[in-house]
Structure formats: C-alpha cells, structure tokens
Amino acid sequence: MRQFRTLCSLTAAAMGLCSVAYANVIPATIFDSNMVLQREKTVPVWGKADPGEAIEVKFGGQTLKTKADANGKWEVTLAPMKANAKGQTMTLKGKNTVTLKNILVGDIWLCAGQSNMEMSFAWKVINGNEHIKEAKKYSQIRRIKVMRTASDIPAENILVQTRWSVCSPATVKAYTAAGYYFARRIHIETGVPIGILDDNWSGSPIQPFIVPTAYKDIPALKKDWQNVKPFVPGTPEYKKHIQGLIKRANTWVAKAEAALKNGEPAPAAPGLRPYPPAGYRYNIMMAPIVRFPIKGALWYQGCSNWRDGMKYYHYMHALVNGWRAAWKDDFPFYFVQLAAYTKATNDPKGGNGYALLREAQRKAMDIPKSGMACTIDIGMQNDIHPKNKYDVGERLALWALRDVYGKKDIVVSGPLFKSMEIKDGKAILTFDYAKGLMTANKTGLEKPVKTDAKPAHFAIAGADKVWYWADAKIEGEKVILSSDKVKTPVAVRYAYRAYPDGVNMYNAAGLPMVPFHTDNW
C-alpha cells in the first residue's frame, strides 16, 4: 500500500511538471471536451505552460489573457454564464493551441462516497437495461470519473479514470447509477445540462475524504484532530513530525553509506510516512478541483463506518464543513441513509448493525442546507448494495428540486419524527411530512400500494427500559402507540434494527418513514 501511495504522489507530481517539460499549454485535467461548466458562477480555468508564456483562453464570447508565472502556472476566470445546452468550443492558446469541443454550461454535482455511490449499471441494478437504452435521450448529462488514488499532500491535478463523456447507452453503463438517476430527474424537470463528478472509492470510510483541518472545529473530534495534526502543514506537530522523518532518513543514509564502503548490505530503508495519512483521498481526488465550481454535493457512504455509531454524526459535520471551506461555497449537501441489511431479527429493543449509524445520519440532517434520502425500505438481507438505485437517485433529487430549483410543492421526505406526547398510557407521535400517512407495500421500483395492515416495527418501553412491540394505529397524521405490558410509556423506537423486515409506513408521496428512537439509552 505504501508503494501504491508513493506511486500516486509521484504520478501527481509528474503531471504537474509535464507541461514545463514539453513547453506546451496544458489545461488542468478536469478540463476536456464534452464537459459541463457551472452556470451563474465565476469559473476559473487553469493549467501549466512555460514560465512567462502568454496564454489566451476563449470561450462563450469571452477572451481572457494572462501569463504563466515563474513555476509555469496560469489561471484565468470566466465571468458567470447562463445555462447553455448548445455545445461550445474552448480554445487555449500559447506557443501551441488546445481545442476543447462540445462544452455545455449547466450544473455540476459532486457524487462521492463508497461502493453504493460508485455502483454502476454493470452491477445489475433493477430495470438497468431499460434505463440504459433510454439514455440516448439524455446527451446533456455528462460525466467524468476520478481515479481512485491517494496522496500524502494536496496534489495539483486529479487523475482521471474516464474522461468527460456524453451520456449514451454505450457510456452510461459505467456511470454511478445513483448519481445518474439523480441527474436524470433534475434534467427532466429543469432542462438544465448536468455534469456528474463521479468521485468515490469502494470500501472507503469517511475519514480519508475529510479535509484534515476540518477536525479542529468539532469538539467531539478532539482526539482525531490530535492524530491528524502531524499531517497538516503549518502546525507545530507537522514540523516536529517532518524533523523526525529527516532525522531517521539521515541516520539511514549514514548507515547505508557506511555499509557500502565496507562492502556490507545496506540496512532496510525506513518507512518515512505511515499509511494512511489524514485526508489521503481528499488530497488528490478533490483538493485539485476545489477551484472548479459545483452546484452541490451528493454523499452515499457509511457501510465502512457502521461501528462508529453517533461519532459518524460528527464526521459528517467535519466532512461538509471542510468541503464548503475548501470550495469557498456554502453549497447544498444531500446524502443517503443506509438501507436495511443483514439477517432480519425480531428483537423490539433493536440497536444492532446499521441502526446506530442510521440514527447518526438522521441527526446529521441538522447540517445547514442538507437533506437525507431514506432507503430503509429497499435494502437486501444478503447484499450490502441495494439493486434499487432508481429510488435512491429520485429521492435525492426531491431535495434539490425543492430547495435548489424552486419546486416548492414537492414532498422531500417520508414521515420524519417530530415529537412525542404521553397521555392515558399511550404514546402519541407527530411527524413532519406525514400527509397521507398510511401503511403500504412496495415492490421493486413501483410506488407503494396502500394496505389495511397494522403499522409495523414500533417498539415501546417504560422507565424500566424493557422494550416490547407496540400496538400501533394511525390517526390522521399521528401514530398512537400502546402496550398492555407498558403502563406508562417513556420511549419509543421505530425500525431501529439492522434489517427491519417488512417496514410499511409511508406518506401519500410514497416515501418511507425514517427510522428513529426517542430515548438516549
């Protein structure tokens, strides 16, 4: 792994130097034909050339000129542009000319996380073949795939696995399915071209994507910050860390030289940077493009952090705070709550598997300008990767359509716990987004169908903290819970298990009730 990391760092460094070696104007790798540029924001365009070389950039009726600095770096800034679905050409001219074609102006959405976000149509998503065929209608959706790489320090350039592509039946197969379904819905509703930054790493925990300095402002992550500081340039801990590495390196050099002089084998070289350093995925997969403006971010991750429980809540705050500070933009952030997974159980107490992580995600809805897509109803007992990515993308899109694109009549969430009142031995629950509260059955990608079944998966407890299944009934937009075994209820839980089999609570919009618990036990 250390060799892999070092190779990535060296590769990134080489990419930063190649334009000087060849004396050509070279734009940063994020810029290419078929791309989408963010509308209604200033858009920096940057790259490398010979030191002092005159650079001219033309796009969308704008002509911008500059000179490369002493290190060969250059940057110009395009003025804000309106959405434009007609492909345009960008020319970058110095000693050579680079021509980038078929560029649209629209909205860029960063799609990040682990395997559930990276999951493409090749993973046999439900109705995937049908949606692949219709992709020919959505050529105004474009996508770039960032390579899964790591770096000790912020790099100059991202490495690209797949260059910007025009959505088609041939290209869409490799897209993030969740991200594509989100982009598809947004484009259908608004007509705006959509660019997808497919920037994720299967199996990754959240920490490598967090900007290292973001830990310091989260009191609950104080210990994490202490561990991160040796990797943050400018901190005393970083200076001490590097001085220690230099000392170790010098000691080895002296011993190796002596060994060679005496005809003896040199000692093994020390590992100078323990793997992994803080932010090692952010450093090369995101840091190089924080100048590239985006409309917002989608986050689908958590499987690799399921043991962290409520600590994940604080990690999410650090993630969002760090990204927004790096981009210098308070952009919207929408995320997916993990679906049901692992063997179904029938314990009313619950609290196993993903239950605690889901609660941390629910509470993270207090992040400003955020929204959560609940997927408790589409999970699979034997597969951590739900094959229904259509509903994931559609549910994420609801938040954006309402809060970003101004469609105010949209319901963005299933019933979301609001308050509890104890009266006459019963727990009376109220919810946000509870219009048309009902029990229903969902099959595949179809909308839930209303049933006459009783509400399932509600548990109730008294002061003794012993949990029992509750008798639940719907009254308007409220749920009334009781149990002959609990005289005076104190707390309730809903779907608070790894795999609550057969969840059946929905609102009229067909969105599932979000799992919750009222206690802090």
Q: How confident is the model at residue 231 (pLDDT cuts 50, 70, 90)?
A: confident
Is the pLDDT reported for residue 1 higher than 90?
no
| Per-residue pLDDT at 14 exceeds 60 | no
Please give, one letter per residue, the 3-state secondary structure of 239-281. HHHHHHHHHHHHHHHHHHHHHHHCCCCCCCCCCCCCCCCCCCC
Amino acid 364 reads: A
C-alpha neighbours within 13 Å on the C-beta side of residue 39:
12
- What is the DSSP track for 310-377? THHHHHHHHHHHHHHHHHT----EEEEPPPPBSS----SS---TTHHHHHHHHHGGGSTTEEEE--TT
* Predicted pLDDT of residue 318: 98
pLDDT tops 70 at residue 36: yes
pLDDT of 334 > 60? The answer is: yes
For residue 4, pLDDT over 70 is answered with: no
pLDDT, mean of residues 311-324: 98
pLDDT mean over 207-235: 94
Taking the alpha carbons at both ends of the chain, their separation in whole angstroms is: 41
Token pair of 297 as six digits: 């971010």
pLDDT tens, position by position, 268-298: 988 776 556 789 999 999 999 999 999 999 9
pTM attached to this predicted model:
0.93
The whole-number average pLDDT for the span 368-394 is 97
Unique residue bearing structure tokens 């490369």: 68
Average pLDDT, the chain: 94
pLDDT at 200 over 70: yes
DSSP states along 375-440:
-TTS-BTTBSS-S--HHHHHHHHHHHHHHTS--TT---SS-EEEEEEEETTEEEEEEES-TT-EEE
Which of 319, 327, 332 is closest to 212 using CA atoms? 319
Element containing residue 447 per DSSP (H, E): none
Cis before 208 (ω within 30):
no
User: Given this model, what pLDDT does residue 6 score?
Assistant: 41
Q: What pLDDT is attached to residue 278? A: 86
pLDDT for the residue numbered 10: 40
Confidence of residue 18 (pLDDT cuts 50, 70, 90): very low
With pLDDT > 90 as the criterion, what percentage of the chain qualifies? 91
| Alpha-carbon gap, residue 495 to 134, rounded angstroms | 36
Report percent pLDDT > 70 for the chain: 95
Residue 5 has pLDDT above 50, yes or no: no
Q: Which residues contact 221 (CB under 8 A, 6 or more apart)?
A: 215, 314, 315, 318
Q: Encode pLDDT of 447-484 as tens digits.
A: 999 999 999 999 999 999 999 999 999 999 999 999 99
The pLDDT score that the predictor gives to residue 416 is 98
Least confident window among 8-12, 164-168, 341-345, 430-434: 8-12
The pLDDT value recorded for residue 276 is: 63
Q: Given this model, what pLDDT does residue 273 score?
A: 67
pLDDT at 57: 98
Among the listed residues 421, 432, 457, the one whose alpha carbon sits nearest the alpha carbon of residue 511: 432
Query: What's the pLDDT tens digit per position in 81-115?
Result: 999 999 999 999 999 999 999 999 999 999 999 99
- The Cα 115–Cα 517 span in angstroms is 28
